[in-house]
Amino acid sequence: MQQRPLGRSGLAVSRLALGTMTWGRDTDADDAAAQLKSYLDAGGNLIDTADVYGDGDAESVIGSLLGSLVPREDLLIATKAGLRPGGGDRRRDGSRGHLLRTLDASLRRLGTDHVDLFQVHGYDPRTPLEETLAALDHAVASGRVRYVGVSNFSGWQTARAAAWQTAWPGRAPVVAAQVEYSLLERGVEREVLPACEALGLGVLPWSPLGRGVLTGKYRHGRPADSRAVSPHFERFVATYLEPRCSSIVEAVATAANGLGVSPLEVALAWIRDRPGVTAPILGARTSGQLLGALQVERMTLPEEITIALDDVSALEVGYPERDG
């Protein structure tokens, strides 16, 4: 698998990352181990998790596999902190105390003394951004974190964070932005992607398959074993089960049929090769699903198909982003 630099950093990551949102909940430890082995065998090196995935169980599963399945030095671990499920009206917490406390808990579950990328999981309007960023500086200075990033920040929030970190000597630069991005969700192209390009951040798209919808599995209903009928993910998937998204899925399926590949491969190849993208995050529930996704490494979309998919999924852009 090819590697790419993560933004303007010295960190080289594989151009597909492995996500773990279902690990410890819908994906048991044995299947997680099979996924990680398949991913490593394909040349991948970046695994993405968060303190809230499975209430910490995802990180614990990863920790159980370090050493026994993969040497720590052969795997880049990215985790996130800053969300508080069940936290009442404060769903996001970017305070210094919360971030550093959850980082220490993540390290214990992961069974390691550092993570390679530590990301703020969402913008917290109640905490001064300077405090959040100072916590990231401390995490890097203490050796517990190698690089830092943001996740689910808007364009202006991303730009402010990145610019602040480069304005003062000795601060840890923001090198990555993790955002939802796919053929079904291109909103980040308005401002987030231009901000990342201008300030040298690598983009890590989550849900690059449109929450599974771009695989084509929902074209004729909702399979009994799919996320669309899962109590954890039903509302998460339902967002993209509407007419506009269906027309995009049909275009992907048509392209896949013409190329003799799966719709999944077409959708992944499109997002993997978008300008500014470093590594889409594959969030498979089973090892079989992951093996199917890894097949994308064998292909590059023909230019005419890329243009056609750009057109059918085109983002509506108005003032002031529109040129002229």
CATH number reported for the structural domain that contains residue 56 in this entry: 3.20.20.100
Positive/negative CA dihedral, 321, 8, 306, 249 = negative
- As for how many domains the chain has, the answer is 1
Residue 229: its H or E element: none
**What are the Cα distances from residue 73, in Å, to 4, 110, 253?**
18, 13, 39
Quick check: is 261 in a domain?
no
Positive/negative CA dihedral, 33, 39, 43, 47 = negative
- CA 84, distance to chain mean position in Å, is 19
Measured CA to CA, the distance from residue 182 to residue 214 in angstroms comes to 9
Quick check: is 75 in a domain?
yes
pLDDT at 229: 47
Whether the bond into 5 is cis, omega within 30 of 0? no
Measured CA to CA, the distance from residue 300 to residue 138 in angstroms comes to 41
pTM (two decimals): 0.94
Quick check: is 142 in a domain?
yes
| DSSP code for 9 | S
pLDDT tens digits, the chain, 324 residues: what are they?
Answer: 999 999 999 999 999 999 999 999 989 999 999 999 999 999 999 999 999 999 999 999 999 999 999 999 999 999 999 999 876 778 999 999 999 999 999 999 999 999 999 999 999 999 999 999 999 999 999 999 999 999 999 999 999 999 999 998 999 999 999 999 999 999 999 999 999 999 999 999 999 999 999 999 988 666 555 554 465 566 777 889 899 999 999 999 999 999 999 999 999 999 999 999 999 999 998 999 999 999 999 999 999 999 999 999 999 888 888 765
pLDDT at 87: 65
pLDDT at 232: 58
Place of tokens 């269906």: 246
Quick check: is 182 in a domain?
yes
Quick check: is 264 in a domain?
no
Quick check: is 226 in a domain?
no
Backbone dihedral angles phi then psi of residue 146, each to the nearest 5 degrees: -95, -45
Residue ranges of alpha helices (H) inside 155-262 are: 155-167, 192-199, 234-238, 243-259
pLDDT at 230: 60
Quick check: is 262 in a domain?
no
- CA 172, distance to chain mean position in Å, is 21
Identify which of 86, 157, 148, 155 has the alpha carbon closest to the alpha carbon of residue 120.
148
DSSP lists the bridge partners of residue 83 as 92
pLDDT at 322: 79
pLDDT at 164: 97
pLDDT at 64: 97
Identify which of 100, 88, 98, 82 has the alpha carbon closest to the alpha carbon of residue 151.
82
Quick check: is 243 in a domain?
no
pLDDT at 234: 66
pLDDT at 222: 64
Which domain range does residue 140 map to? 3-213+275-301
Identify which of 88, 164, 158, 77 has the alpha carbon closest to the alpha carbon of residue 120.
158
Identify which of 313, 315, 295, 316 has the alpha carbon closest to the alpha carbon of residue 305.
313
**End-to-end Cα separation, the chain, in angstroms:** 41
| Residue 269, SS3 per DSSP | helix
Measured CA to CA, the distance from residue 269 to residue 14 in angstroms comes to 14
- Characterize the bridge pairing of strands 12-14 and 46-48: unpaired
**Which residues have a catalytic role annotated?**
53
User: 58-97 burial by CB neighbour count: b if 16+ within 10 A, else e?
Assistant: bbbbbbbbbeebbeeeebbbbbbbbbbeeeeeeebbbbbe
